[in-house]
Amino acid sequence: HPWRREFYPQYKANRKKTREADDRDWKLIFNTLHKVKEEIRDNFPYYYMAVDRCEADDIIAVLVQDFATNNDFGSKLERTLIVSGDKDFQQLHKYPNVEQYSPNLGKFVDCPEPEVFLKEHILRGDKSDGVPNILSADNCLDEGIRQTPLRKPVVEKYLRITIEKDDKYYRNYLRNQTLIDLEMIPNDVKESIRQEFKNTNPVKGKVFDYLTKYRLRELLDHIEDFTL
């Protein structure tokens, strides 16, 4: 299980229920995704990483943080491009030289106030991940209970202040912060990611044979794009 599920058992709990109610062949879908990942790992010159108790968000966040703050990866700050439309990554825009590109939208993602974005995201929660807003109980989304509405004036109030321990919603704020704020990744998880990155050696010299084997002619015409 990812570390967030250990901390909060309701994390993404509804996704299994959603799949069970869906008539698509999820076993085939997951097997296909697994095969694609293996082929990328074995044939393309990219860093392929899978770390116990981690999600992709964690790996991307830790590497972005380390590259942007000159942590163990060389003598200069690295420019970083996150290729994803996931809104969770907008909080990482606070670091220097970090950009985000959404393939679905075909454009760069702009987040002029990443700290404000993050705090509002924590306040509102993330329904798709089973994280309710700070006014609502842990189990409400998992059990189909309606959330307590989080009105705009309440959001604006909490954006202006620091939530103190005596606030009645402090506990729920910490719950959401732990699940959403990528600075809250546990130290042991961060270290596992760093070690995996250091120990990963991208394969070289296999792209041409792979593209030729599967007759991927359009990609062969742009084979220079597959080099690091």
pLDDT value for 132: 97
Q: Are 194 and 66 in contact (CB under 8 A)?
A: yes
Residue 137, pLDDT score: 95
Residue 141 has a pLDDT of 92
Alpha helices in the chain (DSSP H): 3-7, 14-20, 26-43, 56-68, 114-124, 152-160, 170-180, 187-199, 207-213, 217-220
Q: From 1.10.150.20, 2.40.50.140, 1.20.1560.10, 3.40.50.1820, which CATH number describes the 3-43+49-199 domain?
A: 1.10.150.20
CA distances from 99 to 16, 84, 93, 114, 194 (A): 32, 10, 7, 12, 21
Q: Single out the residue of 157, 71, 151, 159 nearest to residue 115, CA to CA.
A: 159
* Domains in the chain: boundaries: 3-43+49-199
In whole angstroms, what separates CA 96 from the centre of its chain?
19
What pLDDT sits at residue 96? 84
Would you report the helix, strand and coil content of the chain in percent, each value rounded to 5?
Answer: 50, 5, 45
Tens-digit pLDDT profile for the chain (228 aa)?
A: 899 999 999 999 888 888 988 899 999 999 999 999 999 999 999 999 999 999 999 999 999 998 887 655 555 667 899 999 999 999 999 998 899 999 999 999 999 999 999 999 999 999 999 999 999 999 999 898 999 999 999 999 999 999 999 999 999 999 999 999 999 999 999 999 999 999 999 999 999 999 999 999 999 999 999 876
Residue type, 122: I
What tokens appear for 111 in the block? 């987040």
CA dihedral 179, 182, 188, 194 (to 10 degrees): 150
